[in-house]
Amino acid sequence: MASHCDFLVLGSGIAGLLSAHKLSSLGTVTIVTKKEAVESNTNYAQGGIAAVTGPCDNFESHIEDTLNAGAGLCDERIVRLAVEEGPQRVKELRELGVNFSLKSRGNEALDLGLEAGHSQRRILHAGDITGREIERALVESCRRNPRIRIVENHSAVNLILDEEGRARGAYAMDRRSGLIKAFGASAVILATGGAGKVYIYTSNPDIATGDGMAMAYRAGATLANMEFVQFHPTCLFHPKAKSFLLSEALRGEGGRLRLKSGRAFMKDYNPRSELAPRDIVARAIDAELKKSGDECVYLDMTHKSAQYLKSRFPNIYRKLSGLGIDMAAEPIPVVPAAHFFCGGARVDEFGQTDIPGLFAVGEVSHTGLHGANRLASNSLLEGCVFAHRVWRHFKDDGKFRLPRHSPAAWNPGKAVALDEAVVITQNWDEIRRLMWNYVGIVRSDKRLERALRRMRLLNAEIEQYYWDFILTPDLIELRNIAEVATIVILSAMARKESRGLHYNLDYPRPLKSARRPTLMRKRDALKSLAV
């Protein structure tokens, strides 16, 4: 028997929790999340949220910075909408109990940070654990709300569509028992985050396997601009550290990138040096590593005192100290890592996909805000703004409750228990390494063609496993990363230029004729995948 609610929210980052909080004023909400409610990309966001709150800042400056970073592919109407709604959304977060850092005790002025690509200090932060602080406040609010039910440790498998093609829920697996349940709803909100685990080096947590993107794609939704994957320039390079990000704010406070020899190199690549947009900094590091053969470069914060670093970056300082690195006395080893997808399920200004009843908020979506490269700290802004706009859509519509839809129980068919899980591990590792080597920071036609040939075989093998064997959480995630990886490859092959985060050695310059989004639908991609 399927459970039923008015709104089914898949995911528990800022986009999912804030959507649930707002939608609960209109009806019942079920949040389904694959681990604990606080485990999300939001929880790992160190830098902060970009919004115009300072006395010297203004909307036009934030809009211009966003458009410049987006390299000609931002939707200016959406940029303006997001920037102008930002201050009100920040006000709401503070009312919900988010404690942003202030300049000093007794001083109510916000301590605004500067990050790459921004012309003003406009980054609201909570020390260097902004995401964790936002998650804390939103989880507490949702847990107190009697109209919100949180279902943890469940992996969404597929969307449920009714006879008219409308999204009416989702199947999800209890990761502990393996039981697959049907969750029915009048509307579904995807807030599943990104797909950083498609790459072998990533700042994302293990849950970031592109589940929402893959489910939307399989259901027939249009995905846009999936070739634009942002590689954060500075992820800690250390054998005992997994996916630990070193915030952009470190460079905003004067951090310098240096080679093993100690030479600072960013001025060779861009006049803004370390404060150039992320795509430029990541490509510069990649180029230097390829030239030197070194495994990492170094982020130097030794110009700041230990007292300052402990105060401004307490989480980073504590983490590094635990690994034997004194950031006040020695440079920090860093490498670029997959960080953020600028593409996703294409939505309108109210977060609606082209599947009726299916909405997408946050990194899983493509709103047009980021274009070909995301401006630092605009991601949390986007999550807040579009959670509010989804709520506005239903509030203004007033007719969101539909007759209960009774989806069929999950049918495993003739599937049998998986006999060799090693095949899943092998394919998982191969896809992630293939994507890093062939579809990473710098691409070429030859690399992309090699990647696609291999993915054709892997997709066929994985799909056979999906039908032949009883599902496991690992098999669900493998299927999703394979699907997302293939979409990224096909999208990259379709863009015959270099722009923003997409750099192809065979087409090193941007083209005016290519200033349009790359759209990918399953029916079109199947033609390209035919062997």
Q: Distance (Å, rounded) from C-alpha 88 to C-alpha 91?
A: 5
Residues 6 or more apart whose Cβ sits within 8 Å of residue 318: none
Active site includes 450?
Answer: no
Work out the angle between the directed axes of helices 422-438 and 445-468 (0-180°, nearest 10). Answer: 160
Alpha helix stretches (DSSP H) within 398-468: 422-438, 445-468
Distances in Å between the Cα of 15 and the Cα atoms of 106, 270, 448, 460 are 32, 34, 32, 33
Least confidently predicted of 188-192, 274-278, 345-349 = 274-278
Backbone angles phi, psi at 54, to 5 degrees: -80, 155
Task: Quote the CA–CA distance of 425 and 474 in Å, as a whole number.
Answer: 8
Mean pLDDT within 285-309? 94
More confident residue, 120 or 418: 120
Q: For 440-452, what is the mean pLDDT?
A: 96
Look up residue 293 and give its DSSP letter: -
pLDDT, mean of residues 213-220: 97
| pLDDT exceeds 60 at position 43 | no
pLDDT, residue 261, reads 95
Residue 530 scores a pLDDT above 60:
no
* Per-residue pLDDT at 523 exceeds 90: no
State the catalytic residue, choosing from 168, 278, 389, 443: 278
Q: Answer yes or no: are the C-beta atoms of 50 and 377 closer than 8 Å.
A: yes
Ranges 52-66, 104-118, 242-256, 318-332: which has the least confidence: 104-118
Q: Which residues of 396-417 are buried (b: 16+ CB within 10 A; e: fewer)?
A: eeeebeeeebebeeeeeeeeee
In the prediction, which pLDDT does 426 show? Answer: 93
Burial of 143 (0-12, 13-18, 19+ CB in 10 A): exposed
Helix (H) or strand (E) holding 155: strand 154-161
The pLDDT tens digits of the residues spanning 340-375 come to 999 999 999 999 999 999 999 999 999 999 999 999
Inform me whether the pLDDT recorded for 531 exceeds 50.
no
- Residue 4: the pLDDT is 92
pLDDT tens-digit series, residues 460-472 = 999 999 999 999 9
The domain made up of 232-337 is a member of CATH 3.30.300.30? no
Q: Which residues, listed in sequence order, are joined to residue 345 by a DSSP beta bridge?
A: 223, 365
pLDDT of the residue at 92 = 95
List the chain domain ranges. 1-228+342-531, 232-337
- Write a three-state SS string for 158-222: EEEECCCCCEEEEEEEECCCCCEEEEEEEEEEECCCCCHHHCCCECCCCCCCCHHHHHHHHHCCC
Which of 105-141 are b and which e, b meaning 16 or more Cβ less than 10 Å from the residue's Cβ? eeeeebbbbbbbbbebbbbbbbbbbbbbbbbbbbbeb
Q: What's the whole-model pTM score? A: 0.90
Structure tokens at 424: 């899943």
- The answer to whether 83 and 62 have CB atoms below 8 angstroms apart is yes
The whole-number pLDDT of residue 413 equals 86
Distance CA(169)–CA(160), nearest Å, equals 5
Amino acid 415: pLDDT: 87
Q: Which fold has domain 1-228+342-531?
A: FAD/NAD(P)-binding domain (3.50.50)
**Coil, helix or strand for 512?**
helix
Tell me how far apart the alpha carbons of residues 462 and 166 are, in angstroms, rounded to a whole number: 27
Q: What angle do CA 384, 44, 32 make, to 5 degrees?
A: 65
